[in-house]
Amino acid sequence: MRSALVIGAGLIGTSAALTLAGRGVTVHLTDHDPDRARTAAALGAGSDEPPPGPVDLAL
């Protein structure tokens, strides 16, 4: 798996994103509140930019 999209950057989504990013997966974050996605990205959980194409996993 090379890329993932995490929908919902709350506690669970950010934790999953951090784990995936720590294993070398390119993670994209989205949330209904853009500030949450930006906060998760600032913590190193991935990018708050939309993926450029299809991802291998959506969570």
Separation of alpha carbons 12 and 58, rounded Å: 14
CATH class of 3-58: alpha beta
- Where in the chain are the domains? 3-58
Residue in 27, 31, 32, 24 with CA at minimum distance from that of residue 55:
27
Asked whether 6 and 29 are in contact (CB, 8 A), the reply is yes
Nearest-angstrom CA–CA distance, 45 and 49? 12
Please state the length of the chain.
59
Question: Could you tell me the pTM of the whole model?
Answer: 0.94
Q: Answer whether 8's CB lies under 8 Å from 31's CB.
A: yes
* pLDDT by position in tens, the chain (length 59): 899 999 999 999 999 999 999 999 999 999 999 999 999 999 999 999 999 999 999 99
